């Protein structure tokens, strides 16, 4: 009987385990995770888990793993991997053999330069325990300093200010969301944060961070900022150490092909930890940190581990909730030379990003609730079809995007 092992019990790994059963795999499945909790969803950590509840949102209850005959090993890590022998050694000393292996090891928070580890007052946000610690200082009279104006930093800032905490957000670049979000949308979000009371400081030169005498501090040129806690939200790095030590190819993540196979045919990688060629963008190698990408690649990896030959075809998609605003982005805007705006009313709008030849590469939208969701979904379909829509039609509210898709 075949034994498939999945290393990484997050969204991608858990999805892959259940997908194997749904697709008819009747061999043994072992899912290995470093945390003692059952696999849980991470997007709520910067949103609902902070503002409403500290209970993790489980991907599935324990009974579902038992019913699907998925062996779940919690609280252990893989110390070494031997691709030749097709086995691995766990932190508890156990040796596990596999017929096929999926690495869904995810990503880890980047540490601030000059700091070797997080502490009680200097934290990142990657785990449920991190969320509990942050929630403890999100209350009136407490002060949270956030380093990094990306999605995590801004989402935590929005939650913290709503709960009554004082928030200072420090960004080294000239604006927030510099990576992948158009300036027009980033400006709208920054203004909303300032209106809500966030002390937002861009182009801040940080010299050092640390803690002393019951507080954390950020030392900047000419000023020192003290707070009850510092959240370091300066991005994530893929967890490639296990793969690299085993001799697998690494290129901004564990390098895989369009079938999610690594440089070893019997080892696959998926989710935040891997980089892959994206055909709709000319084979450009990308790495995505996205909840939906983790789900889709988990399912795709399961199909191909069972002998399938499905290729990565999904259009990258991201979202962020801040206050009552939702930001959604479909596609990758690298190489875009034209940026067209379509107003949807009540302050909601979408930007369409086209290359020099008029092909739609990406769409970025912002609005309250689900104001942009439908049109972003239609734009996603146009991107997948490699469409060259009429620019005038994209900006006209009298032309439905669905009609462009039909054309």
CA dihedral sign of residues 245, 251, 257, 259:
positive
**CATH code at position 252:** 3.50.50.60
Q: What is the pLDDT of residues 348-383, one digit of tens each?
A: 999 999 999 999 999 999 999 999 999 999 999 999
List helix spans (H) across 254-333. Answer: 291-305
Within a domain: residue 314? no
Q: Do residue 336 and residue 402 come from a single domain? A: yes
What are the two backbone dihedrals, phi and then psi, of residue 303, each rounded to the nearest 5 degrees? Answer: -60, -45
Exposed, middle or buried: residue 114 (CB in 10 Å: 0-12, 13-18, 19+)? exposed
Burial 175-207 (b: 16+ CB within 10 A, else e): bbbeebbbeebbebbbebbeeeebbbbeebebe
Residues 286 and 224 in one domain: no
In the chain, how many domains are there?
A: 3
Residue 149 and residue 228 in one domain: yes
Domain contains 316 = no
Please check whether residues 299 and 246 belong to one and the same domain.
Answer: yes
pLDDT at site 342: 97
DSSP state of 60: S
CATH number at 402 reads 3.30.390.30
Query: Are 104 and 242 within one domain?
Result: yes
Task: Name the pLDDT band for 142 (thresholds 50, 70, 90).
Answer: very high
Q: Which of 203, 232, 261 is the last residue of a domain?
A: 232
| Residues contacting residue 406 through CB under 8 Å, at least 6 positions apart | none
Give the CA angle between residues 136, 154, 360 to the nearest 5°: 150
Last residue of a domain, one of 232, 264, 292: 232
The domain in which residue 102 lies consists of: 3-108+237-305
In a domain, 312, yes or no: no
Query: Residues 207, 287: one domain?
Result: no
Residue 313 lies in a domain: no
The predicted structure's pLDDT at residue 46? 83
Which of 197, 232, 267 finishes a domain?
232
247 or 223, higher pLDDT: 247
Q: Same domain for 8 and 47? A: yes
Q: How far apart are CA 148 and CA 124, in angstroms?
A: 11
Asked if residue 179 lies in contact with residue 153, where contact means CB atoms within 8 angstroms, the answer is no
Residue 230 has pLDDT above 90, yes or no: yes
Return d(Cα 309, Cα 256) in angstroms, integer: 14
- Residue 318: inside a domain: no
In a domain, 311, yes or no: no
Q: What percent of the chain has pLDDT over 90?
A: 89
pLDDT, one tens digit per residue, over 17-52 is: 999 999 999 999 999 999 999 999 998 888 755 666
Q: What is the pTM of this model?
A: 0.95
Q: Which residues pair with 28 in a beta bridge?
A: 3
Judge if 226 and 252 occupy the same domain: no
Looking at residue 359, the DSSP 8-state letter turns out to be -
Question: How far are the Cα atoms of 45, 127, 136, 265 from residue 54, in angstroms, in the given order?
Answer: 9, 11, 10, 41
For residues 380 and 333, state if they share a domain: yes
Mean pLDDT in residue range 217-246: 95
Burial class of residue 131 (count of CB atoms within 10 Å of its CB; 0-12, 13-18, 19+): buried
Within-domain flag for 341: yes
pLDDT by residue (tens digit) across 61-110?
999 999 999 999 999 999 999 999 999 999 999 999 999 999 999 999 99
| Same domain membership, residue 262 and residue 242 | yes
Q: Are residues 29 and 82 in the same domain?
A: yes
Specify the pLDDT at position 278: 96
Residues 103 and 115 occupy one common structural domain:
no
């Amino acid at each position: 009987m075949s034994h498939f092992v999945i290393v990484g019990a997050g969204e991608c790994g858990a999805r892959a385990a259940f997908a194997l059963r749904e697709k008819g795999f009747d061999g043994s499945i072992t899912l290995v995770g470093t945390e003692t909790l059952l696999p849980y969803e991470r997007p709520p950590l910067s949103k609902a888990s902070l503002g409403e509840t500290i209970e993790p949102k489980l991907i599935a209850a324990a009974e579902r793993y038992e019913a699907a005959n998925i062996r779940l090993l919690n609280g252990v890590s893989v110390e070494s991997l031997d691709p030749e022998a097709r086995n691995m050694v766990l932190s508890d000393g156990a040796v596990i053999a596999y017929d096929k292996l999926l690495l869904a090891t995810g990503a880890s928070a980047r540490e601030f330069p000059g700091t070797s580890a997080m502490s009680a007052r200097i934290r990142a946000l990657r785990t449920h325990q991190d969320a509990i610690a942050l929630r403890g200082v999100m209350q009136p009279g407490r002060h949270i300093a956030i380093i990094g104006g990306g999605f995590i930093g801004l989402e935590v800032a929005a939650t913290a200010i709503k709960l009554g905490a004082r928030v200072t957000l420090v960004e080294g670049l000239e604006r927030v969301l510099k990576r992948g979000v158009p300036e027009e949308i980033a400006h709208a979000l920054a203004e909303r944060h300032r209106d809500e009371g966030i002390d937002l400081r861009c182009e801040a030169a940080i010299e050092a961070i640390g803690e002393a005498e019951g507080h954390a501090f950020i030392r900047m040129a000419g000023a020192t900022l003290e707070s009850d806690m510092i959240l370091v939200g300066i991005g994530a790095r893929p967890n490639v150490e296990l793969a690299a030590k085993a001799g697998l190819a690494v290129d901004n993540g564990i390098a895989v092909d369009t079938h999610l196979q690594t440089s070893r045919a019997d080892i696959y990688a998926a989710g935040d930890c891997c980089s892959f060629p994206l055909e709709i963008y000319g084979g450009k190698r990308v790495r995505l940190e996205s909840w939906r990408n983790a789900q889709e690649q988990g399912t795709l990896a399961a199909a191909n581990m069972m002998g399938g030959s499905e290729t990565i075809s999904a259009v990258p998609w991201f979202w962020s909730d801040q206050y009552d605003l939702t930001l959604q982005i479909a596609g990758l805007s690298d190489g875009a030379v034209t940026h067209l705006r379509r107003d949807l009313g009540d302050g909601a709008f979408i930007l369409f990003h086209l290359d020099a030849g008029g092909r739609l590469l990406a769409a970025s939208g912002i609005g309250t609730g689900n104001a942009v969701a439908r049109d972003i979904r239609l734009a996603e379909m146009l991107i997948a079809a490699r469409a060259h829509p009429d620019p005038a039609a994209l900006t006209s509210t009298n032309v439905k995007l669905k009609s462009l898709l039909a054309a």
